[in-house]
Structure 1
Amino acid sequence: MFGPFKGTLPTLGGLLWKRSWRMSKDQKFRLRKRMQLVDRNIEVLYQSLKPAGEGQVSTGHPKIDHLKFVFPKENEMKPVDKYTTFNKNAKNYRKAVHHVPKWTKLSFRENPKYF
């Protein structure tokens, strides 16, 4: 067909979206490496801001303390938490991380409890 009603891949039943429905092993590897880099950076920040006394547990910075003690580390997370995130509109309230816009720049470590 020619003209305004020309057949395209979506209208002919082709794949509409270019992103795959699951993450490749290389994407997962790079995601884990980014998370490990964030863990190392949090540790460096904590050690550099910690007071000289050995008895001190807190740095005095609530955000750094939250990242150090509450924020889960990459090796403590389950795979379902690493590669999916909470989404209230999804079927099982989970959405693949790589379907989120700018997913390489965001942290997906904290999800609502029981999800």
Structure 2
Amino acid sequence: MFGAFKASFVAQGGLLWKNPFRMSTTRKANVRKRLRDVDQVIATVAESGVRCKALDEALALPKECEMSPRDKYTVFSRTAAGHRKSLHKVPKFTKKTVRTSPPGF
């Protein structure tokens, strides 16, 4: 490529995804709020009298207030060091209900 938009080592290098190392306090607060909202929806559906397998599984999950911070902000990962990965490193973590991990992790 020639001209003003010529490819260079600087333009081609660098991080592709700018994920911060730690979760910010704002992002943690949003995770807690999202978990509470899901708990409220599950409780509302349970009060309506509907019964199904998915609802029974959702009722068996721990609520946000019962979860430890480790389970709120990290998930189990076989490939990560220590077998835990920060939640914001998981693709589409806002759309997943990740509340349980294998025993011992």
Give the TM-score category using the shorter length.
0.7 to 0.9
Please give the alpha-carbon distance, in whole angstroms, between the structure 1 residues aligned to 2:87 and 2:20.
Answer: 12
Larger CA Rg, structure 1 vs 2 = 1
Q: Which has the higher helix share?
A: 2
Query: RMSD in angstroms over aligned alpha carbons?
Result: 2.1
**C-alpha contact (below 8 Å) 1:82/1:109 kept by paired residues:** yes
Which residue matches 2:39? 39
Which residue matches 1:110? 100
Equivalent position to 1:92, from 68, 82, 85:
82
**Equivalent residue pairs, number:** 101
Please give the alpha-carbon distance, in whole angstroms, between the structure 1 residues aligned to 2:10 and 2:37.
Answer: 43
Structure 2 residues not aligned, in runs of 5+? 1-5
Please give the alpha-carbon distance, in whole angstroms, between the structure 1 residues aligned to 2:85 and 2:92.
Answer: 14
Identity over aligned residues, as a percent? 40
Higher relative contact order (CA 8 A, sep 6+): 2
User: Which structure 1 residue ranges, 4+ long, deviate > 4 Å from structure 2?
Assistant: none
C-alpha displacement of 1:79? 0.4
The answer as to 2:56 corresponding to 1:65 is yes
Please give the alpha-carbon distance, in whole angstroms, between the structure 1 residues aligned to 2:100 and 2:23.
Answer: 20
Structure 1 residues not aligned, in runs of 5+? 51-58
